[in-house]
Chain A
Amino acid sequence: METAKKRMLTGNKAMAEAIAQEMENDKNVFVLGEDIGKYGGIFGSTQGLMEKFGPERVLDTPISETAFIGAAIGAAAEGMRPIAELMFVDFFGVCMDQIYNHMAKIPYMSGGNVRLPMVLMTGVGGGYSDAAQHSQTLYATFAHMPGMKVVAPSTPYDLKGMMASAIRDDNPVVFMFHKSLQGLGWMDQLDYAVGHVPEESYTVPLDKANVMREGKDVTIVGIQMMTHYAMEAAERLAQDGIEAEVIDLRSLAPIDKDTIINSVKKTHRLVVVDEDYRSYGMTAEIAAIVSEEALYELESPIKRLAIPDVPIPYSHVLEDFVLPGPDKIVETVKQMMDEA
């Protein structure tokens, strides 16, 4: 009998809770980044930490990303477990050398002798007219480069569990949180930005996709907002008798090929939806995996929905045009079913 009311948290509170619990368990864990102290992180991912742990372990930094992300690498090499926040993923440009030439490569170049147990967490995503320099996800940019785990959870439950895993992992983990899924009071109020989160500490693996909805007719793979849009689309498709299976990818690297392939073997159709640029991106990667490993399972060509290869425009009419959404997913799936 389920009488107890489920404990509901926003995405950002779930993340902050995981960080707090790991900080309590391990004195080597500390957080640094811009506005992460008193402000609690622009997207709320460090709320309450300053009050709990003080400025020794929760460090507001100057706007010096190369220095503080590089410093996180140096501290991690000394056995600390830093969590650095890059406020918006778009700002990676000023510090990418530290990220991909050092954080991603030192463990390998040292023959596994140097470990970098650190988390680089960063806000991603658009849809609220923040224009070309503040709206990207850049999933593929990071996932393309070997040496980093790259995860992008879609629910409060996973945000907490995957953050705990990321902090405990001995590898550098890029932890992308979607701004719209943080449950911020000043953005769209989305139902899926709030969800059940147990109070006790738990982990969710960093290499497993999640089947969010089972179906037999078509597989839709998404991540973060696109997973939720796929779920919305699936509900609508069900009304027309089309049963879509929705996979939340969760981890871009390593990618869970088995879950995708097993699903395609069942549905024989695949649509991949991505809030990143189309070319050389996640949609292409998944299409390639399925072509290589399950081509003859397919009954129709794979469809990809992603941002056509343009920077993200400001005006909402333009942005709406380039971002995939439930309508486009429904339309694409229906077309696919009609063609069959």
Chain B
Amino acid sequence: MIEIKNLTCRLNGNVVLDDISFKINKGESVAIIGPNGSGKTTLLRVLNGLLDIRNGEYVFDGQRIDDKFLKDAKRRKIFHKRIGFVFQNSDNQLFCKTVFDEVAFSLLQFDIKYEEVEKRVFDCLKLLDIEHLKERVPYTLSGGEKKKVAIASTLALNPEVLILDEPLNEIDPKSKRKIRELLKTLNDYGKTIICATHDFEYFKGVFKRAIVISSGHKIIYDGDFESLIDNKEFLEQNDII
């Protein structure tokens, strides 16, 4: 479903991703692991079509994602509906007046009946246990609450591919367990899940595959998740634990 070929990415002259290639099939659950500054966030932004690709190629569901494709507003909207992104810093993602509006925002961009919107919003709020926050102003919430709102608002659109950038930051242990279960359920429903995380010990049983990016911005491991976290020696050698 997702294919990256020989992608090299430069930001302000620094190489941030160095000649990476991989392929992710529909229904897979993949963890992206790497030390701080290795380029995880950058990779996820590429997958969401937020960065110009100069060197390399990105193919989503048989369609090359490039400048030309992204120029057409309608196609772009459909692309973003199919792929949901939870930002690392939720402050950037929340801009509505109330939590309810926030979750409803993307739904209101489509022609959906209002009853349906309301139903979906309440379901999403329930899934993340934040119904009591629905009248609050999103950016005055606590860090963990913001994160949950961000996840709920991404989920509302029912994307086929869900991309999360460190979703467990600032989340308390009980909610961590809840989000872990949620990701597992979503994966069972057939959604593709891609998640950059440092809490990979926590995610045992959720992800089947792991991609490790080194501090040299290259992919150094792409394979089974369980056998990666059992391989302490490899993880230690590459500054991950």
A binds B: no
